[in-house]
Chains A and B, each alone.
Chain A
Amino acid sequence: MSQKTETAKKPVSRKDMTKWQWTLKEMSNNKTGYFLLAPFYIIFFVFTILPVILSIFFSFTDFNLLETPNFIWFDNYIRLFLEDDIFMLAIKNTLVFAAVTGPGSYLISLLMAWFINELPPKIRAVMTLIFYAPSISGNVYMVWTYIFAADSHGFLNGTLMDLGVISTPIAWLKNASYIMPIVIIVALWTSLGTSFLTFIAGFQIVDRSLYEAAAVDGVKNRWQELWFITLPYMRPQMLFGAVMAITGAFGFGGVITNLVGFPSPDYCAHTIMHHLDDYGSSRFEMGYASTIAVVLFFMMIGSNMLVRKMLGKVGK
């Protein structure tokens, strides 16, 4: 990589030094640059890049934090995919959950940001706050446990019973057939975060004169305007928003645990995140947990790649 930047910047090919010497010289001329980024990158490598490399390494061992690890090669992967029934359930749940909350939160963020952008500035600021607040307010999502409480004092049960829709209270958060839809609703409720703000900002920087030009060119309604002008213009924001939405969709484990407990009834809301936590911090099977982490890691990177491809088609 350094060679690539070097050739790009090198004005003429030089005879008096090799590429490598040139690179070294450039490096020593720019000590301040390295000095400024060193503190950040040292921490970043130790706590963000190193764990990925270590996980891949540990996933081929039977490491348990106490004994010296032995190489067992693909045994962890075989056990994970062929013998661990709960993991298969976790994969299914994670895919269902992420496939709904990821695109769901993305589309809601985009649509709401678009609609909010049509409002006058003062109201826009208030609406932005209303939509963004649930995602920054810590564990405010616990309010859903009051709403879905299992007895007649729970808001939903009480109201439904009062209206005569049901006669006995439903244990919403204990019943496997209700849990998944409920955690998805709650996850969506808390998910209008960074990507939502990015879209709010993105809509505001679109060059207004483009709309006038488009109107002359025959763009007839706001949907065409959105598809042919706004979205292509804010493609960088859309890509960033997508990355945030995907990363978020895989990170809701804590919300699920706080709502329905761990393990969830019949493992119906058991995701890969829970499986990872279970083996990593309760059973201390580092090797096996690392294998789960590696699988999760490639799922995240894979879905990001897929979405990048899809976003390339916007406005065409």
Chain B
Amino acid sequence: MRLKQNMGYVYIMPWILGFFIFTVAPLGFAFYIGLTEWDTFTSPTFVGLDNYTALFKDENFLKALWVTIRFAVISVPLGIATSLLIACLVNSKVRGVSFFRTALYLPAVVSGVSISLLWKWILDKDFGLINLVLSKFGIEPLGWLSDPHLVLPSYLMMVVWGAGGGMLTYLAGLQDIPSHLYEAAEIDGANMFQKFKTVTLPMLSPVIFYNLVMGIVGAMRKFSDAYIIGGAGNEGRFYMVYLYENAFNYLKMGYATAMGWILFVIILVLTLIVFKFSSAWVFYSSEVNKKTKKGK
């Protein structure tokens, strides 16, 4: 029996070794680097918590954090709502629904860099598609990326455009909802809105919960499109972009690593909060079934 147990460890040893060498060790190293001043060319110098204290006095850091949090607060619910709406629409049995499902999901399979370059053109003040359409209605060209007030709305437009990617999980969830629940609701005289509120939303809540957590993590770590597109008045300088600038443009690797740890803590806290309150709104039908059986 003991040999069997030991053999189990041997079998999982490659994974454990990989985990320690490629995950735990770099984490430990990163924690140490966050306490140093390191330009990557020379040896790191230990500076204690200086990087962390300097960060909270750095107006660019605070601005990047604000830009990112503000984006996350608006974009995550917006993305969820749009994806859910699209999923409900393509869940209906109409002709050509497969085409719409494919078309709406397409943004998710295109490379992020290509999408960013495409949007940079769409949002261009002089040659952009949006301003071209607006000009047909006599509206003056808007500086989507050059006017600081329009940078956030521009990024939110991109979120809405890419919401088809999130549709897939909602669609799978919708198709998993037993039809007898809707039939029961109909017998009780529920209209479409009431059916959505009392059947669809609770049954989809685990999927919404999953997308909420992933959405928060994704929004806080926003990088590639912000790096390519930017935005006036530092409104497009998201947290990860500023981290990258410090690490690779200014060779302040210790400072950038400290930023990485702060972001980790922020994401961890937000995720824990979401988990903490999930019991109030996330409904797991399997748990109800268990309770029902126990009750019997």
| Binding partners A and B | no
* B interface residues, Cβ below 8 angstroms from A: none
